[in-house]
Amino acid sequence: MKILATIIFLLPLSAVAQTKQDYNLVMEKFVQYYNAQQNDSICTLFPDNTKVASYSCFWNFAEPERVYKEYGTINSYEYLGTEGDVTIYKVVYDKFTKAMSFNLDENLLFGTFRFDTSSDKIKEMLRETE
């Protein structure tokens, strides 16, 4: 009976936990939309509550044309691990390599999103992949 109660208690927790595969799927979509400069499609990866003023979503607010010009296209990405509650990816652009971090909400949409992120731990993660 205790085992059954434990399973019933833990089942909802496992149902909402995202996997590395979930993160890779969302990252793959982001890269596809980013490289095609499909801003509206990128916006579908954010929940509705990220709408800001007259902008359609966070991504449009971030001046994507400037970002595309500054960074170039994404050539590759690599899962590096986690820091706290965010997942870190090494992203190789035309012009340089940076780290991107995000977490996902229960609907597999961006909870937090940092297009360019850094910390001592992230710098170390990037160095280990060189």
Radius of gyration of the chain (CA): 17
Give the closest residue to 91 by CA, choosing from 78, 110, 72, 104: 78
Write out pLDDT tens, residues 73-100.
999 999 999 998 999 999 999 999 999 9
pTM here is: 0.79
Encode pLDDT of 26-57 as tens digits.
Answer: 999 999 999 999 888 888 888 875 555 444 56
Q: Is the dihedral of CA 104, 33, 42, 59 positive or negative?
A: positive
Q: pLDDT digit string (tens) for 95-123?
A: 999 999 999 999 999 988 898 999 999 99
CA separation for the pair 11, 16 (Å, rounded) = 9
Domains of the chain: 18-128 (3.10.450.590)
H or E segment at 90?
Answer: strand 86-93
Structure tokens at 90: 């090494």
